[in-house]
Structure 1
Amino acid sequence: MQQKINTEKYPPSSLVLLLSPDEWESFIEDCCRVLMHQDGKYKHVQQLGGAGDAGRDIEARYTEQLLPRKWDLYQAKHYISPVGESTLYPELSKVFYHISKNTYPEPNYYYICAPKNTTPSLHDLIARPDSHKEEFLKSWKDGNKGVKKSQFPLTDEVERVVNDFDFARIKEYPIKDLIRVHSRDYEAHEALFGIAKPRGENPPTPTTPSSQEIKYIEELLKIYEEHGGTPMTLEDVLVSMDYCDHLNGCRGEFYSAEGLKRFSRDVMPGEFEKLMDSVYVGIKRESSNPRHRTGFDRLDAVLQTATSLQVTDSPLYKRLLPADLPGTCHQLVNEEKLKWVK
């Protein structure tokens, strides 16, 4: 969903109403995958909604096998109004019918997932499981509240399955809780709602270079030695009127990229490394251009090329600061993938 929406005025709890039923099922599946990958709650998650799903929109298993009470059934109902008994009961009758036919085993929990939650009457029934079961069975026997007795007859075996099921395990999953779970998958949440997680502040550039800066600073010293025509130590550069500001500018770029690297590590693991690979491909031809006579020539040309690169395919693109791509070049030098003085 491509959108630029004021998410303070139109929060995700409102935007989910714009989803199609299929997109809503995918949204619920994404939530279950957060619970699987980040919390370890599930071992297998699959969206089944559609013809032949036997009442299962999303199946979330605690084990690889589909075993009794070792899975949760998520019922995704996308309506602009709250879900009531007339919407839920036809779905419940289908589920109990298929349990009785051994289409699948009894789930542990049955979650009702709807953008506008449930009606007050259904909400109250869910809070009183015994009354809820009684009301459901009565509706099924009478063929009321949307239940189609001709399609799913209430046989003695089906009724036994219903009576054995603890209706306390039928729960509503409030929309705000679903959105909170979905927001933990930053990429999916941003792609769906256009809400970008703030990058935060870059780490400060230390007054004295740290041990993690050794490699790229050594390469900068080679540039300064080549340009000045004399051997130079880091101490010499730090007091030099000619090179100190240049070094500090490069270090600022390095730490800007370091800030992006840390954001990626915490929020989008592996994406900074992919960005570095893209930058390396983009600047490789310029870095190996034989017309560069000095290290300064090569550095200036490569950083200029890096700054002009289009990296819009990276999910980090929206968080880029002006110094990030030049800083990525210093990161490449630090990993000994790039040299300034040949």
Structure 2
Amino acid sequence: MTAQEFENGPKIDPVLVIQTYDSGVWETFIDEWIHSLKDEYFSVMRPTGPGDKGIDVAGFTDDKKLLGVWDNHQCKHYKNPLSFGVVAPEIGKILWHSFNGVYVAPRSCAFIAPKGPSTTLDLLLANSDNLKTEVIEKWQKMIADKITTTQSVELTGDFETYVNDFDFSIFSAPAPRSVIEAHKKTPYYPGRFGGGLPSRPVAESPPDEIEPHEIAYTKKLLDAYADHKSQSISCATDLNAWSNLKEHFGRSREAFYHAESLRVFVREKADPGTFESLQDEIYDGVADTCESDHADGYARVVAVTDSAQSLALDAHPLNKSALPKDRRGICHQLANDGRLTWKK
């Protein structure tokens, strides 16, 4: 055991964690995963309540949505592995509603359950011809009365022809561990299963020229320097007369870019709002220092950024990720957003 495991207990396998979810949490878990597939889907829909016509979470590849190319993700939550009897009515709904033009048949339809499919169902799904045969043979017994609440759907006429011509290979039931591996790529994973964040990429260095998104905080820094020297300082080149201020300005820009890289990194790897909550904690921690009396604006900047580096952020999930340079940079982000000011 590591010291952390001795204190907190051994890490629980995520496959066992998802088996503790109720149906609502399970559907949210799948929704988190699908919503994170931004490069693959144009938009995502999650109908709730009765009458969803066999759709739990739909991922659309274009603005045609249900009339275009889309994937259906059926979230199933049972104490046992999925059986054919559970998914058969859902297959029937897809067949019936696509036949009637409620939507185009999905490109894929995955039945996702925390314990995965039973061996029998897994073998059926691996052979689309056998799956089709089983659906047709069991239609009257398992499916006909479970598609709508208003009628029994008979497998006859044009609908029977449609079913016989349908591509049953769109149906699948992924293993729980493969679903967890897919969810691992989302920003929600650490909050559900722990393990912290992966290593950060190296932050880019600030360019020689001030970028448009830097104008607010760099202008405030120049004003703070002007207050310190009691003379006009309107641009970065004016700092050539004072090496200490020039170096401070360069370090401040570097810290700002460091914090911006953390913002982008966290946005893609942690729950939405995680980085913003870190900004809020740092603001709350330095606000009194910022509002206290200081000799000049430059002294205020130094006092605030020093205070930020010494804050106790042990309870925040980013406490180990936010390096001293990030904390200084976050102060400049807060100045950029107008939440902190340096002038007396």
Tell me if structure 1 keeps the 8 A contact 2:224–2:296: no
Contact 1:26–1:47 (Cα < 8 Å) also in 2: no
1:124 corresponds to which letter in structure 2? L
Give the superposition deviation at 1:168: 1.3
Q: 1:292 aligns with which of 279, 291, 294?
A: 294
After TM superposition, list the pairs within 5 Å mapping 1:173-188 onto structure 2.
173-186=174-187, 188=188
- Give unpaired runs (5+ residues) of structure 2: 147-151, 231-238
- C-alpha displacement at 1:166, in angstroms? 0.8
Q: With structure 1 as the length reference, what TM-score do the two structures score?
A: 0.69
Q: Which amino acid aligns with 1:11?
A: D
Q: Secondary structure at the match of 2:52?
A: coil
Deviation at 1:280? 5.7
Which string of whole-angstrom CA distances, capped at 9 and with x for unpartnered residues, describes residues 32-61 of structure 1?
Answer: 2222x2x1x322311125311122212222
Partner in structure 1 of residue 51 of structure 2:
52
Structure 1 Cα separation of the partners of residues 333 and 42 of structure 2:
37
Cα deviation 1:273-308 (Å, max 9, x = unaligned): 78558756875664354x423557534543465457
* Contiguous gaps of at least 5 residues in structure 1: 227-232
Letter in 1 for 2:321: R
3-state SS of paired residue (1:18): coil
TM-score by length of 2: 0.69
8 Å contact from structure 2 (residues 259, 329) kept in 1: no
User: Between the two proteins, what is the percent identity of the paired residues?
Assistant: 27
Amino acid at match of 2:23: P
After TM superposition, the structure 1 = structure 2 runs for residues 21-100 of structure 1, keeping only pairs within 5 Å, are 21-35=23-37, 37=38, 39=39, 41-67=40-66, 70-100=69-99
What CA deviation, in whole Å up to 9, does each residue of 1:153-191 have, x standing for no partner? 3330442232121111112233233223322221x2233
> Cα 1:316–1:261, aligned 2, differ >3 Å: closer, same or farther?
farther
Change (3 A) 1:204 1:95: closer
Give, in whole Å, the separation in 1 of the partners of 2:122 and 2:303. 65
Q: Is the 8 A contact 2:42 2:60 kept in 1?
A: yes
Task: Find the counterpart in structure 2 of residue 159 from structure 1.
Answer: 160
Distance 1:45 1:340, change over 3 A: closer
Distance 1:7 1:71, change over 3 A: farther
- Against the structure 1 CA distance between its residues 11 and 255, is the aligned structure 2 distance closer, same or farther, given a 3 Å change threshold? farther
State how many pairs are aligned.
316
**1:44–1:299 Cα change, 3 Å:** closer
Instruction: Tell me which moved more, 25-34 or 315-324.
Output: 315-324
Over aligned residues, Cα RMSD in angstroms?
Answer: 4.6
Closer, same or farther in 2 for the Cα pair 1:128/1:217, shift >3 Å? same
The one of 21, 25, 37 aligned to 1:19: 21
Whether 1:319 and 2:329 are equivalent positions in the alignment is no
